[in-house]
Amino acid sequence: MKLVDFFKENPKAAIAFSGGVDSAYLLYAAVHLGVDVRAYYVKSAFQPQFELEDARRLAKQLSVDLRILEVDVLSCGTIAENPSDRCYHCKKMIFSAIAQAAAGDGYQLLLDGTNASDEEGDRPGMRALQELRVRSPLRECGLTKEKIRSLSKDAGLFTWNKPAYACLATRIPTGEVITEEKLLTAEASEEYLFSLGFTDFRVRRMGEAARLQFPAEQFERVLRMREEILTGLKRYYKAVLLDLEVRE
């Protein structure tokens, strides 16, 4: 099946829109193919501010109605306790909120940006999507991440080369309680590294220390800017550690 066929069968839909590469292209395709579509962005403690700004920018570029929903994920004790299946509970809460809002707006079909490169074993939240009957057109149509980036570039979407960015909760080790303070610390420390020109990295929490993960090509620059990085990140962590296993 191709996207054009999917949307011929489903001419009206709501899209869970994160501001990332996949949901951005899905939204573009829906608009381009004349679908009656509305985008829903969930603002929570797990999403950094720049994701919301990207979502707003893309919605404006496509002249799409964007509805922003606020969901207090930390109010759910199971999510805050950060078990191994946290993503399942979080997805269930977030997509339930979107589905309810969309239904109230007259949209019964809810779509997300899962693509054909996403294996079920790598997406613990996929079970929640299945339970809520969320459909994933990119996956159903066999579109891989690489293909989506290429199509997005051709379409003139600024998101085409945007690095993948997992939610802030992934910066905290499984089993360690998630607090708003820890999430804000993770966001602030990553914002600082972004400001220095680094990309596609992670700042993982290890007790009171930060474990930095960078792509191999950035290691030389990291070492060259060691003092500056330490000065900035020690505002948030007692120690700063560099992971020698490269981030791929």
Quick one: pLDDT at residue 126? 85
pLDDT in tens, the chain (248 residues): 899 999 999 999 999 999 999 999 999 999 999 999 999 999 999 999 999 999 999 999 999 999 999 999 999 999 999 999 999 999 999 999 999 999 999 999 999 999 998 766 556 678 899 999 999 999 999 999 999 999 999 999 999 999 888 899 999 999 999 999 999 999 999 999 999 999 999 999 999 999 999 999 999 999 999 999 999 999 999 999 999 998 76
Q: Which of 161, 195, 215 is the last residue of a domain?
A: 161
Say yes or no: 150 and 218 in one domain.
no
Residue 111: CATH number of its domain: 3.40.50.620
Quick one: pLDDT at residue 109? 98
Is 232 contained in some domain? yes
Quick one: pLDDT at residue 121? 54
- How many domains does the structure of the chain reveal? 2
Quick one: pLDDT at residue 166? 87
Q: Which of 128, 161, 194 is the last residue of a domain?
A: 161
Is 101 contained in some domain? yes
Say yes or no: 36 and 115 in one domain.
yes
Q: Which domain holds residue 140?
A: 3-161
Is 197 contained in some domain? yes
Say yes or no: 154 and 204 in one domain.
no
Residue 45 corresponds to which tokens in the numbers above? Answer: 């403690």
Specify the long-range contacts of residues 96-105, CB closer than 8 Å, at least 24 apart: 96/132, 97/42, 97/69, 97/71, 98/14, 98/16, 98/40, 98/42, 98/69, 99/14, 99/132, 99/134, 101/40, 101/67, 101/69, 102/14, 102/38, 102/40, 105/14, 105/38, 105/67
Say yes or no: 102 and 134 in one domain.
yes
The model carries a pTM of 0.91
Say yes or no: 74 and 185 in one domain.
no
